[in-house]
Structure 1
Amino acid sequence: MKAGATAFPWEQAMAFGFGRLRLASRDFWTLTPRELAAAMTAHAGPARAAMDRAGLQGLMARFPD
C-alpha cells in the first residue's frame, strides 16, 4: 500500500452487505464498488444538520422530564 493511502474498509462493507442488505455471499462478492457505494448511500438517508440551541430548547420544553 502506498504511503498515505487508507485500506478499503472490508469489515464495514461486509457488515453492511451481509447484515443490513442480507445479501448471499455470492451476491455480495459480485457487486462492484460503485454498486456497493450506491447501496450504502441509499440506506444512509438524508443528511441532517446538527441541532442548534433553539431546537434543543424546543425539545426541552416539549419533554421537560
Structure 2
Amino acid sequence: MVPVSSQEEPVTFYDMGNFYEIWQKTRDTGLPLVVRDGNLRFVEGGQPAKFNIEGSSWD
C-alpha cells in the first residue's frame, strides 16, 4: 500500500437519503468502498456499502 494525495485519488461521499456511498474518485470513474472480511476496501466492481455517518458536536 502506498499513500497518495487526495488530488490524485479523491474520495467522494454520495448522499443516498438515509445512507451514504463512499467512492474513490467518482461513481463513473472510481471504486466503491466496501466492507470485506471486517476491513474497509475500495474494490473494482464491488457493490458499494451503505454507511451512516454520525455527526458530533465539540463542546
More strand as a share of residues: 2
Specify if TM > 0.5: no
More helix as a share of residues: 1
TM-score by length of 1: 0.24
The higher-RCO structure (CA 8 Å, 6+ apart) is: 2
TM-score by length of 2: 0.25
